[in-house]
Structure 1
């Protein structure tokens, strides 16, 4: 981390601390200590803890969208791209860095902190909806399938898969949730 400039170290440290401690447990002092930066440096780059937290959340959200987009634009049919997204390598035991923030009441009650989370899940649902619509139109899914509802269900499967993995201490819970969802989708194409 010390190869990064001070601003980047502050953002990365805040991301880690939000993950480990939540918003309330992430003090400016803890951020500065982890980043190896002084108070003056922090306030030179950010107006305060909320501004820095927003930058950290935005960074996590951007990375999530970038990883998803790579799967969504990969080779194969629309249904294969959805499967690639669901099956892409993740640290299931660690959980989703964006989804986990929805469990933090201090983040969710602040519209500025909540906005990148809402925007990311809306983007993800929209992208999945478009792919599922294309898969349905290509005949890979049942004609009666509701792409928007199915996209929301797939986002829930991913987030729920993280919860199962963490609850059981095994990535198998995540994999089982994903494979179950894909089996349901595949059966939809057989109707």
Structure 2
């Protein structure tokens, strides 16, 4: 009976359409005329969001970003830490967050050489898009990455990896 009521409701509401600047008069979705440009902030605001935090991206990159511009990357499946640099720079329409890992043959997870800067929009790295760029962060160097030569342990990439789970494993 409940399925019948849901089906009836779906039929009744099926003709409704939300009118928005990017819809095409109820005939489906069309792309906006301008490419998506995420909201931007001053460099100092991005810097405050980035400095002295430990980050987890895609359940396989953990990194710590101190104020001095160094970057400490702990990558899933790796025993060693990648020690590099980060910087923020203004691009034409957004702020870019860039990393490089001098001495590494390649950027972890990328075919680019480690000495090259690898940049992306700060908006996506620092909390603007949790669906396409899932991540989490906590204040401080919770794994002591800035004082280590090697990773605390080797972790395996898994979508269920969280900072809290890695911290619990470290305490064991």
The verdict on a shared fold, with TM-score over 0.5 as the criterion, is no
Which has a greater percent of strand? 2
Larger Rg: 2
Q: Which has the higher contact order (CA 8 A, sep 6+)?
A: 2
What TM-score results when the alignment is normalised by the length of structure 1? 0.23
Which has a greater percent of helix? 1
